[in-house]
Amino acid sequence: MSQKQSPAALEKIARSFRALSEPTRLMLLQELKAGPMSVNELVEISGLSQANISKQLAVLRDEGFLDREQRGTAAIYSIGDPMVMELCKLMCEGMNRRAKERAIHFSI
């Protein structure tokens, strides 16, 4: 953060991070990175229930990370804010860097 945030802004930021703190939601983002998909496609890929997938998608959509389009009876989801993928990429890069540092540090 480049500037000091108000308590209300920090709460909104924390809510966005909480939306990304669930492995199923991260898996959904990973799948949607390839392109828009229906709820049924995501259910098939994940092996999870339609109710669970819909709930997790709603959390991500409510935070603005996903867009939802209705096509007939199908709900199609896509990445709504590409910055969420950048954030995930930065997190993974940081984790990889720290893992390498620890491996080097603890090697004999």
Q: How far is CA 66 from CA 1, 62, 79, in A?
A: 23, 8, 5
Count of beta carbons in the 10 Å neighbourhood of residue 9: 12
Q: What is the pLDDT of residue 2?
A: 73
pLDDT at 102: 84
Q: How far apart are CA 25 and CA 61, in angstroms?
A: 11
pLDDT at 26: 96
Kindly report, residue by residue over 41-96, the tens digit of the pLDDT. 999 999 999 999 999 999 999 999 999 999 999 999 999 999 999 999 999 998 88
CATH class of the structural domain 7-81: mainly alpha
Give the residue-averaged pLDDT of 30-38: 97
pTM for the model: 0.86
In Å, how far from its chain's centre is CA 97?
21
Q: Are 33 and 79 in contact (CB under 8 A)?
A: yes
Is residue 105 over pLDDT 80?
A: no
